[in-house]
Amino acid sequence: MNGKVFQPSGNYYDKYNTRNPIARSMMQGFLRSFVELAVIAEPVGTAIEIGCGEGELSMRLAGRGWKVQGCDISEDAVDEARRRAAAAGLPIPFRTLDIFSAKEACGRSDLVVCCEVMEHLEEPAIALDILAGLSCRYLLVSVPREPLWRALNMARGCYWKEFGNTPGHIQHWSKRAFLSLLQQRVQIVAVRSPLPWTLALCRVQ
């Protein structure tokens, strides 16, 4: 993994199916924004999700007609993604792979998705180059919006010793700072800001 990926530990939970009403409301906002940006990227074609986790976003794309493949650094997450896709009757191939190996392992796709990954990476600019290189048309990315993310963590009594920083988050972007990073490599098409994230759909130049 080239020493460039920090794999978080101890902070995984099923955020898409949480029973916490506040967290559930925020995740619904995230998912609405994700689908809105995916619609802008249509007509449907091929897609790859880097850092697919349990496969929720890949399955939503597949449900809209995208031909999707997904990968994640966590073998356990990939196993869960395979289980959920099979249960939903969606033929999505998932495999264990990190972002810095994807360039050699994956072909180019019309849409590349990378959500909640870049905050874990020591070299996000290099990762952005790889993501852009994997895309024929669009890149859809998201990161937590700081310092709001940490403030909300502390408000719910989490990670006080870390000043609200989620374990594994080593990059911290405001909305403006993240968009500035993206503009160095891609053209921003549309942005959504559901609490507390920044999502951007970009066109590869």
Q: What is the pLDDT of residues 49-86, one digit of tens each?
A: 999 999 999 999 999 999 999 999 999 999 999 999 99
Q: Is residue 115 part of a domain?
A: yes
Instruction: Report the phi/psi class of residue 54: left, alpha or beta, with left for phi > 0 and alpha for psi in -120 to 50.
Output: alpha
Q: In 32-185, where do the E strands start and end?
A: 46-50, 67-72, 94-96, 109-115, 135-144
Q: CB count, 10 Å around CB of 82? A: 17
Share of the chain above pLDDT 90, in %: 80
106 pLDDT tier (thresholds 50, 70, 90): confident
Q: Is residue 53 part of a domain?
A: yes
Question: What average pLDDT does the structure give for the chain?
Answer: 91
- Section 143-152 average pLDDT: 96
Give residue 8's pLDDT.
41
Q: Is residue 161 part of a domain?
A: no
Instruction: State how far Cα 119 lies from the chain centre.
Output: 10
Q: Is residue 46 part of a domain?
A: yes
Q: Is residue 2 part of a domain?
A: no
**Residue that is written with structure tokens 């009403």 in the block:** 21
Q: What is the pLDDT of residues 161-190, one digit of tens each?
A: 999 999 999 999 999 999 999 999 999 999
Q: Is residue 156 part of a domain?
A: no
Least confident of 5-19, 21-35, 168-182: 5-19
The domain that holds 34 is classified in CATH as 3.40.50.150
- Section 186-202 average pLDDT: 98
Backbone angles phi, psi at 12, to 5 degrees: -80, 135
Share of the chain above pLDDT 70, in %: 91
156 pLDDT tier (thresholds 50, 70, 90): confident
> Of 90, 139, 131, whose CA–CA distance to 110 is shortest?
139
Number of domains in the chain: 1
Give residue 9's pLDDT.
37
> Are the beta carbons of 73 and 97 closer than 8 angstroms?
yes
Residue 142, class by beta-carbon neighbours within 10 Å (0-12 exposed, 13-18 middle, 19+ buried)?
buried
> Are the beta carbons of 48 and 70 closer than 8 angstroms?
yes
Give residue 128's pLDDT.
97
Q: Considering only residues 158 and 7, tell me which one the structure prediction assigns the higher pLDDT.
A: 158
> Are the beta carbons of 159 and 167 closer than 8 angstroms?
yes
- Tell me which residue range forms the domain holding 119: 15-144+171-204
CA 145, CA 191: separation in Å to the nearest integer? 13
